Amino acid sequence: MSRTILPGAKVGVLGSGQLGRMFAIAARRMGYRVHTLSPADDTPTGQVADVEINAAYDHLDAIRSFARNVDVVTFEFENVPAATAAAAAEFAPVRPDGAVLHTTQNRLREKTFLTQAGFAVTPFAAVRSAEELKQAIGKLGLPAVLKTAGWGYDGKGQIKLESAAEADAAWTALKTDEAVLEAWVDYECEVSVVAARGMDGAIVDYGLIANTHSNHILDVSAAPAPLPADLAEEASQIARGVLDQLKVVGVLCVEFFVTRSGKLWINELAPRPHNSGHLTFDACITSQFEQQLRAICGLPLGSTELLRPAAMANLLGDRWQQGEPDWAAMCELPNVKLHLYGKAEPRPGRKMGHLTALARDAQSAIHDVLAARDRLSGRVGKRGTLATDETRIEHG
């Protein structure tokens, strides 16, 4: 029987971005030591960890040395090579298991697993050549989306196809030897369920979160999602089934499309805390990051109760293009929380931080978080009112 890893122990994180940073904050608060490894220095995670190791993920001797000095290893993004997780597992438990990582870091393996397990996914076909792409178009129809099988996130590695004449150029542009063609889904909205599974098989989830995207990058999330209760319950049960089938120990996010007819299609899995779950840091009794810690250490899972409706808005590097954002103006809204990730260089499309607003209902929280984000750019309208780019997430 696996032992419980108690406060004071050392937790290792493979990866060093903002997810690791928020995990490290949660772990430090509970008295754990945090070690992080990635091919960079002065990282978001390293700034708050006890130990920061700079090493390539394929430097397996460095990975083994890292694992020798911690009590458990987890990861904060799914593009850590499976061989890295296997090397770490020689000296410390890796949670979620490397097999989960192997399945979810490749779209073809992930969709094949979900289909074989009986879950509804976006219709897809494997593509390994320009000729196979043409055959897949004939099977699935157009429009469709061509995606690399591996190493894609935030819209990277994918091309929308509107006509068969675009096939050859799209295949060449993708620069891969394995891809997935997905049918275009006429969806009403995008939602997600963040859930955690403990070592004893217990599962908790945070309910249905509504998401909107801009340029393929998550822009705003809100909870609770303004959708029917039976649909939210169905999404919860699907997510719990996925975690059970994968035997996850840790946190996993299931992203869904909600079709115009009210059906749920799984879009993608993320075997870690998720951008859409950042609002749990402020709005829930137990954040997704503390939940990850509890799960991998064998502690009982915490309550996922939503204390107040909440909305999260990402802050991308574009916000810095006209100079330093006006943080003081943003902070004039007392129900909005600021999270910055400690990244030195703001670049367009780079996630630099996020805002979370707590309010009487989800729509008010969306209004407030977007108003706060507008203040960063000085977008204050006449008579002190704010000219917001308000995002509406309504009932379908």
What does 22-88 look like in DSSP terms, one character per residue? HHHHHHHHTT-EEEEEES-SS-TTTTTSSEEEE--TT-HHHHHHHHHT-SEEEESSTTS-HHHHHHH
Greatest distance between any 2 Cα atoms in the chain: 65
- Residue 331: other Cβ atoms inside 10 A: 13
Q: Is 173 left (phi over 0), alpha (psi -120 to 50) or beta?
A: alpha
Quote the tokens at residue 285: 């009794």
Domain boundaries, the chain: 10-94, 123-183, 187-384
pLDDT at 324: 96
Say how far residue 136 (Cα) sits from the centre of its chain: 29
pLDDT for position 216: 87
d(CA 187, CA 8): 47
Beta strands 10-14 and 33-38, pairing class: parallel
Taking alpha carbons only, the member of 372, 395, 251 closest to residue 313 is 372
Rg (alpha carbons) of the chain, rounded to whole number: 21
pLDDT for position 288: 98
Which helix or strand (DSSP H or E) is residue 189 part of? strand 187-197
The count of other CB atoms within 10 Å of the CB of residue 383 is: 5
pLDDT at 152: 61
Identical fold at 10-94 and 123-183? no
Burial 39-60 (b: 16+ CB within 10 A, else e): eeeebbbbebbeebbbbebebb
Residue with tokens 């799960």: 295
User: Could you read off the pLDDT tens digit of each residue along the chain, which spans 396 residues?
Assistant: 468 999 999 999 999 999 999 999 999 999 999 999 999 999 999 999 999 999 999 999 999 999 999 999 999 988 899 899 999 999 999 999 999 999 999 999 999 999 999 999 999 999 999 999 999 999 999 999 999 998 666 557 889 999 999 999 999 999 999 999 999 988 999 999 999 999 999 999 999 999 999 988 999 999 999 999 999 999 999 999 999 999 999 999 999 999 999 999 999 999 999 999 999 999 999 999 999 999 999 999 999 999 999 999 999 999 999 999 999 999 999 999 999 999 999 999 999 999 999 999 999 999 999 999 999 998 764 323 333 333 434 333
Owner of token pair 């992080």? 36
**CATH code, residues 123-183:** 3.30.1490.20
Residue 378 confidence (pLDDT): 86
Decide yes or no: CATH 3.40.50.20 for domain 10-94: yes
- Answer yes or no: are the C-beta atoms of 295 and 301 closer than 8 Å: yes
Q: Domain 187-384's class? A: alpha beta
Question: What's the pLDDT score for residue 155?
Answer: 59
- Interatomic CA distance for residues 113 and 248, integer angstroms: 14
Record the pTM. 0.93
What pLDDT, on a 0 to 100 scale, did the predictor assign at position 379? 75
